[in-house]
Structure 1
Amino acid sequence: MSVLTLTRDKWRKFKDENNLSKSSFFKKADVGPQLEKFQKALDACKNTPGKKSLGKCFTEADKLETAIEKFIKLKEAKAELDEKANKQLKSWSKELGSITKSLAKLYKESGEELANEDAKNMKNQLASLGL
């Protein structure tokens, strides 16, 4: 699987350096909050592996990829992206696309194993509740 080099801090710095301020018009393409949702889902997937957590991670990765693509299109339409900024955004989009495909492949190939892991996690949670 590819490594995503985009972090929330890098996103903020990138937007500041390239004068890409947020406006209400770009709300549907708000990458920062979606990046946080993806990171949270990825952490949950690592901490509690299973079909449910992997599915959530895939969903959030897909939403983040869509947000980045929308952001690129909207900023291109307003002619607010220089070549360097556009190249960086497309690089992050490509990384994310690779990650999303890898997550989908893992989900498809490991479905039964992941479902068993979900069952184990649920049993452990019930046991910790004294049930």
Structure 2
Amino acid sequence: MKHYSVYDCSIVPLNKIHNRAGNITVVEGETSIPFDIKRVYYLYDIPGGEERGGHAHHGLFQLIVAASGSFEVMLNDGHNKKIVRLNRPDFGLLVVPGIWRELFEFSSGSVCLVLASMKYSEDDYIRDYEEFRKLKG
């Protein structure tokens, strides 16, 4: 696993096309973001006070977008932590491999859209925080 840090995670502005009938944002793999999109999923109907995430990935890149509403993402590289608030559908958070992430403070009706560089593979997940800390040294 390459040793990325929380400072390798960044906010990515996405192209917003305004039209009097409404806005559209298009995300293209390897153009808008630095990876090809292999999987798309979204989180919604998250009860108040609940958290999501609580894991890291060995090789997966993700773009996390607040498609509706808002939420916070805590990023942890084993040494540094930072919290990013997402609340605009035309900005995404690029999360690189080897970063522990926790999503929380979901607003009512929020939708968290995730674009991923790999299809689902349980082997790519690091779900135990102590194992993550050992891997990060």
Same fold (TM over 0.5): no
- TM-score, scaled relative to structure 1: 0.25
- TM-score, scaled relative to structure 2: 0.24
Between Structure 1 and Structure 2, which shows a larger proportion of helix residues?
Answer: 1
Between Structure 1 and Structure 2, which shows a larger proportion of strand residues?
Answer: 2
